[in-house]
Structure 1
Amino acid sequence: MELAYEYWLACIRHVPARKKIMLRSEYTDASQIYYIEETRLHFTEYLDAGEAEAVISSRRSWDVRKNYEKLCEKNIQIVPYFQEEYPERLRVTADPPYALFVKGRLPDCRRPAAAVVGARRCSAYGEAQTGAFAARLAEAGVELISGMALGVDGAGQRAALNAGGMTYAVLGCGVDVCYPREHIGLYMDIQKHGGILSEYPPGTPPLRAYFPARNRIISALADTVLVMEARERSGSLITADFALEQGKDIYALPGPVTSPLSRGCNHLIRQGAGILSTPDELLADMGIHVCSPGQKSDKNEKMLESPENMVYSCLGLCPKSVSQLVKETGLPAGELLERLVTLELQGYIREISKNYYVRING
């Protein structure tokens, strides 16, 4: 029931997230805020009169139990700032949202993550390069963060899914609103292999004013931000600005100097952003070693002599489930899991999501 009160607090309008965090930090749980005296709220020094009244009036019109039940019926999770599951990458930023609403799951903070952003009306070159980078990163176990917009965002997230990877879409509307509508298929698939995230309550329409703010969440959830194509004035450059403030690595895809879609990227490179030349070079910069196709390492040669070879040989850069590996190896599930644990402890494979594994080296 505690989350029901967190939901109420998260949905109060006209009170900034930072003030909600300050208010909530004074109490054991959000229910105490719901029941405190009106005079005490008015004497809270960091709340102005309008903000205190916003909290008070919301209590009069908000049915805590009924509204939370509706949220659960939509299979939407709420992850407030003070909950352990709240992404640490986001918590340490200058302007974290009070809560995230989630359909699917949250990014795994133990995994490397890259944000892929760019023009909605991208060129064939930008779309192709986005797909190539996104697929290769996904194969290497990197989680992709984007905004599910038309153009670069959608191309990158679809490529990541097709490569068997995990991707997360941060929306400038409620998580129960598919925007753009053309991406309804992508919207449904991301929920199965990642998550749909937003700081805005369910039902919030995709207003233009909400999108610049959501960009700070996209960059915050990633270790690295890739700008694939961007005009001189672009939402992607807003994301890059947030990334700079957050201390993230920024890379840009170079393009023809005559192309308006490349001017933003070329400007970022001139300012010192990394150059996206090949996906493997980017992975190396991120500290992720992936052998080129057909390349064998000494480590893998030694593996060929071990009892785990059969399991290892069934794995590649595309994730496979335990049930799929049981079919391919013919091993009982218990024995297979023992082999997988051994291989992971030895550093040959990685569990990129629950019961899904990939090779680390080739």
Structure 2
Amino acid sequence: MKYQYWLSNIPGVGCKTIHRLLGQAGSAEEIYFLKKEQLEKLSGLSDRQVHAITDRKKNWNLEEKYAALGESGISFLSCEMESYPKQLRNIVDAPYSLYIKGKMPDFSKRRVAVVGARMCSEYGKKMAEQIGEKLAFCGAEVLSGMARGIDAYGHIGALKAGGNTYAVLGCGVNICYPRTNQKLYEDILSHGGIISEYPPETEPIAQLFPARNRIISALSDVVVIVEAKERSGSLITADFALEQGKDIYAVPGRVTDSLSMGCNNLIRQGAGIINSVEDFVKDLELYACNDTTQENFNKLLLEKDESLVYACLSLRPKSMEELLKKTGFAMPQMADILQRLIQKDFITESFKNYYIRKI
């Protein structure tokens, strides 16, 4: 394994080149012991890459570096190992190696990726959180990229339900990116894992992030896009998912919103539509939670006036004025009912005097 770790840490030698080398030399160990003249005879290697490989042998203490990795608490997998996930083996540009902090997804469970825009709307945040929470409550595992916005809220929803969630990063697993997600990073480590194809200490740079999307989709059974512009990184994940034969679902949005264009286009092209979180989990055949959900709902014993107001709400924010018109209640009575529903965790105030259902 130490030779595989060495091979995955050579600057300028990416997974495509490594796979070509393995096809000719057989294994990381055999590549390690090739002389410079032998490396130069291999096809597909530039002079610069030959120099990088030979330099890494001279200036990289193999035993010391491998021992340090073990002490760091970071696990290492390569495609030369039997434990490497079969879900990744046959994808285009399969990563040669994975670094894991925490644990890998449980492949005996349903796994769903929840991804979307970084600069998302309040509606998008609520939907991502509710989808993540409902999936985790039903026993599925949630994957995403821990980016700001939709990714983060998908993770947050899963954690809220006490489920497992996993983040695939475009940097080393020992680096929290973005820094503002430090608490989320720590929570994910406690209830799942952080995964990357890049060695520890790899800094987050823009060109590394699109490639990680192929890993998110490959490790998942289903990919959900919550909000995406017409040209969006989330649509890269959707493209990878299509290429890998995965099911894609999208959350629809207003046709006038730029954040909805990517999702609405996916739906027009045949993606599944999420117009109800309950129906979505049924589509995934995650039925086990439905009776429990109803039981928990009944335990809260909503009063008649609370049930009436709750029935008027949906996943889109509704104003106090709309609710007053629909129910005929007076303002003080409505304010009291809404406050009770918030306390019982049935609804939330998305912004001042606008209310939205929770799961």
Q: Shorter-chain-normalised TM-score: which range?
A: 0.7 to 0.9
What is the CA distance between 1:182 and its match in structure 2?
0.9
1:36 aligns with one of 16, 30, 34: 34
1:91 aligns with one of 89, 92, 97: 89
1:112 is matched with which residue?
A: 110
Structure 1 length normalisation: TM-score?
0.77
SS of match in other structure, 2:173: coil
Q: Structure 1 pair 68/294, CA: closer, same or farther in 2 (3 Å)? A: closer
2:274 aligns with one of 263, 273, 276: 276
Q: Percent identity?
A: 48
Pairing 1:1-362 to 2, within 5 Å after superposition: 3-24=1-22, 29-290=27-288, 292-293=290-291
* Cα root mean square deviation, aligned: 1.9
Q: Which amino acid aligns with 1:103?
A: K
What is the CA distance between 1:279 and its match in structure 2?
2.5
Q: Distance in 1 between matches of 2:173 and 2:135?
A: 25
What is the CA distance between 1:77 and its match in structure 2?
1.1
Structure 2 length normalisation: TM-score?
0.78
SS of match in other structure, 1:101: strand
Contact 2:217/2:240 (<8 A) preserved = yes
Contact 1:136/1:279 (<8 A) preserved = yes
Q: Distance in 2 between matches of 1:114 and 1:83?
A: 25
Alignment deviations for residues 9-29 of structure 1 (CA, whole Å, 9 cap, x no partner): 001122231331343356675
Unaligned runs of 5+ in 1: 297-362
Of stretches 144-153 and 85-94 in structure 1, the one that deviates more from structure 2 is 85-94
Contact 1:89/1:109 (<8 A) preserved = no
SS of match in other structure, 1:60: helix
SS of match in other structure, 2:127: helix
What is the CA distance between 1:290 and its match in structure 2?
3.1
Of stretches 9-18 and 170-179 in structure 1, the one that deviates more from structure 2 is 9-18
Of stretches 47-56 and 200-209 in structure 1, the one that deviates more from structure 2 is 47-56
Give the number of the structure whose alpha-carbon radius of gyration is greater: 2
Q: Distance in 1 between matches of 2:246 and 2:76?
A: 26
What is the CA distance between 1:52 and its match in structure 2?
2.6
Unaligned runs of 5+ in 2: 295-359
SS of match in other structure, 1:209: helix
Q: Distance in 2 between matches of 1:232 and 1:268?
A: 10
Alignment deviations for residues 185-233 of structure 1 (CA, whole Å, 9 cap, x no partner): 1111111211101111111111011111111111111111000011112
